């Protein structure tokens, strides 16, 4: 696999340059491919669905297999931390501060190095993909542990605050929030909705992120005051258990998990 640096060196072979250009095109770095992608996602709903069936049918499976060597270790680490009391908050504040500093700080340093490599490459698609698939893994695992320790400290300190209660409610309706924001954003950006795809800059996209957060925090807590679950959480549990689960509260306690 050739990087942008190697492909632009004097005397690079024709075969090496062709290989790099092919990889760049596959990874979306080719201007013609970018223009084609924008035109597709500003098109009709049927066009987008047909493209996903024709060209991306197995992408979820490929993504699952690609993430397996990150997700499986994180699951095992989480199981171990649940068993030793880390996740359940049984450690001391000092222990969690150390984990936040050393694991979170170490992960941030490694991730910063990866970001610098990408920056130095001019965000070359081949380099970015290589860094993403391999070099970022240790840093992400460390940062995950550091984030977990920091969140436990925050929960201990602000457990009864209104904002944290809303965040907890959004987490209890995570399935609905996840799919709901996907539907909302595709409607805003794809051609069958407002067609904003390709019109919004990177800085402007943060406004959409903040707006989505605000929506999730706004609706989740009031909803769960009246219902045991979010709509899709209720549907999932009903399907998994083979019978309709109680939905409205009406003063009744939630069913056991």
Structure confidence by residue, pLDDT tens digits, 28-71: 556 777 888 899 999 999 999 999 899 888 888 888 887 777 78
Please provide the DSSP assignment of 74-128 as one string: HHHHHHHHHHTTTTTT-S-HHHHHHHIIIIIHHHHHHHHHHHHHHHHTTS-HHHH
Q: What mean pLDDT comes out for the span 202-226?
A: 95
Averaged over 135-163, what is the pLDDT?
A: 91
User: How would residue 93 be classed by pLDDT, with cut points 50, 70 and 90?
Assistant: very high
Q: Locate the domains of the chain by residue range.
A: 1-57, 66-158, 160-257
Q: How far apart are CA 238 and CA 257, in angstroms?
A: 12
Task: Report d(CA 197, CA 191) in Å as an integer.
Answer: 8
3-state secondary structure of 221: helix
Structure-token match 């047909």, residue found: 50
In the prediction, which pLDDT does 33 show?
A: 79
What is the average pLDDT score of the chain? 86
Dist CA 183 CA 185 (whole Å): 6
Structure tokens at 144: 């995950």
Dihedral angle computed from the Cα positions of residues 182, 186, 188 and 189, in that order, rounded to the nearest 10 degrees: 130
pLDDT, one tens digit per residue, over 186-197 is 999 999 999 999
Is the pLDDT confidence value at 170 over 60? yes
């Amino acid at each position: 696999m050739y990087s942008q640096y190697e492909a632009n060196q004097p005397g690079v072979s024709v075969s090496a340059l062709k290989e790099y250009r092919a990889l760049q095109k596959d990874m979306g770095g080719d201007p013609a491919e970018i223009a084609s992608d924008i035109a597709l996602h500003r098109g009709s709903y049927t066009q987008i669905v047909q493209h996903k069936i024709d060209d991306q049918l197995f992408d979820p499976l490929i993504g699952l297999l690609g993430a397996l060597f990150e997700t499986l270790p994180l699951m095992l680490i989480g199981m171990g931390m649940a068993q030793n009391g880390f996740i359940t908050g049984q450690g001391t504040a000092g222990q969690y501060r150390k984990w936040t500093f050393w694991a979170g700080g170490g992960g941030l340093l490694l991730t910063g190095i990866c970001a610098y490599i990408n920056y130095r490459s001019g965000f070359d698609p081949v380099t970015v993909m290589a860094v993403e698939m391999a070099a970022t893994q240790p840093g992400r695992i460390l940062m995950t542990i550091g984030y977990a320790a920091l969140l436990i400290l925050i929960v201990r300190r602000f457990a009864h605050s209104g904002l944290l209660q809303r965040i907890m409610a959004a987490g209890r309706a995570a399935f609905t929030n996840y799919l709901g924001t996907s539907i909302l954003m595709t409607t805003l950006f794809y051609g069958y909705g407002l067609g904003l795809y390709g019109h919004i800059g990177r800085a402007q996209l943060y406004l959409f992120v903040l707006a989505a957060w605000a929506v999730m925090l706004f609706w989740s807590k009031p909803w769960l005051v009246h219902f045991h679950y979010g709509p899709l959480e209720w549907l999932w549990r009903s399907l998994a258990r083979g019978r309709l689960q109680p939905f409205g509260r009406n003063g009744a306690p939630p069913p056991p998990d």
